[in-house]
Amino acid sequence: MTADLPVGIHDLALRTSSLVLTHAELAQHTGADVVKYHEGIGQRSMSVPTADEDIVTMAADAAAPIIELHGTDRIRTLLFATETSIDQSKAAGVYVHSLLDFPPYVRVVELKQACYGATAALQFATALVHQDPAQQVLVLASDVARYDLDSPGEATQGAAAAAMLVSADPAILAINTPSGLFTQDVMDFWRPNYRSTAVVDGKKSLYAYLQALDGAWKDYQAHGGLPLDEIHTVCYHQPFTRMAFKAHQHLLGETGTQADAAAVDHAIAPTTGYNEIIGNSYTASTYLALAALLEADDTLDGQTVGLFSYGSGSVAEFFTGQVAPGYQAALRTDDHRSVVDRRRPLDYDTYRQLRMAPTHTNGAHHTLPHHAQGAFRLAALRDHQRIYEAVPATT
């Protein structure tokens, strides 16, 4: 291999949790008009984890088919992006390293900056592969978005993981330069160590998102980026899917591009297929949007696609990728749809009971019932340790 080969996403796999709460069910108990959910925020259902699912089990489940196909021989780095970390010291990726039987000769690091972390991991991964095109990097983005019960954010909850194998000469998407960057200290969304749910200023967060989009786009242009009319569409971070439509309309306005609502819908709707039924997945959200777009359109060979990643607090990046010729053969469409379809529906009372169940923080031994449908589960908590296990395959 030579150092001038394109570098980017060679394989992409998604996973979500085992349970689902529809917004129609939620609306019956909150008193909200379901149209507020379906049209107002663009959400139809949200994934809910079982007690034995978390960011590790979803990430390992997402990565497993990639490892089964490509092996681990060339993977020298595993980067795990999350904002719902399970430990203040140990990287969640170390558990995945063990569950998937990686060799010891791999660096494992966890990255955090709200929902932006996976894009940082992707950019770090591409730099490592440019440095040594013979190696590959596994990027994992996994989160559980959880808000206070009966709060405005409750309807935007979700859970998912995206696994990306970053390689030279990628089969799906080559990552382009330049990137547009933007950072600003703003308290729009944050989660102190003593809280299990986030603190959110919804209006400020909407404004901060759009301000960051402006800043990142201007920086992208200042560094020689493409004009918007040369970018097929943009995969936006989607805390709720209507945000992507608002963001694209805003960017069109900032660039002086004329487009009506139908044109915006045509550009953005293909990116929302997973996020509208899974909910907010924080770090994985942008890459669920990318998967949805690629799986919805088989005519993207050679097209340039934009990606906008936003993490509250705030850090943002706008960049582009070029879709690889023949990308359709590398997609996992049927697998992803089966994972979404297998989720078990929750009634509202069961959902509340699950959310209000006590958390085990006393270090005692707690064996967790087996409810997860994925290939891995959190089996127990013991001596302040999390005990994970692979689930035997059924025939």
How many CB atoms sit inside 10 A of residue 226's CB? Answer: 14
> One of 237, 276, 317, 336 is an active-site residue; which one?
237
DSSP 20-35: EEEHHHHHHHH---HH
Tokens of 285: 């959200």
284: left (phi over 0), alpha (psi -120 to 50) or beta: alpha
Measured CA to CA, the distance from residue 225 to residue 341 in angstroms comes to 39
279: left (phi over 0), alpha (psi -120 to 50) or beta: left
Please say whether the dihedral angle defined by the alpha carbons of residues 134, 129, 178 and 13, taken in this order, is positive or negative: positive
Measured CA to CA, the distance from residue 58 to residue 141 in angstroms comes to 9
Q: What one-letter code names the amino acid at 35?
A: V
What are the φ and ψ backbone dihedral angles of 288, each rounded to 5 degrees?
-65, -40
Measured CA to CA, the distance from residue 186 to residue 258 in angstroms comes to 31
Angle at which helices 242-254 and 202-222 cross, to 10°: 40
> One of 10, 23, 53, 83 is an active-site residue; which one?
83
Active site residue 83: yes
> One of 97, 110, 115, 295 is an active-site residue; which one?
115
Measured CA to CA, the distance from residue 142 to residue 378 in angstroms comes to 15
In sequence order, what are the residues at sequence separation of 6 or more whose Cβ sits closer than 8 angstroms to the Cβ of residue 294?
Answer: 12, 172, 173, 300, 323, 327, 331
How is residue 256 annotated by DSSP? T
Q: Quick check: 293 and 305 in contact, CB under 8 A? A: yes
Q: How far is CA 61 from the centre of its chain?
A: 14
Active site residue 237: yes
Active site residue 235: no
Q: Which residues are catalytic?
A: 83, 115, 237
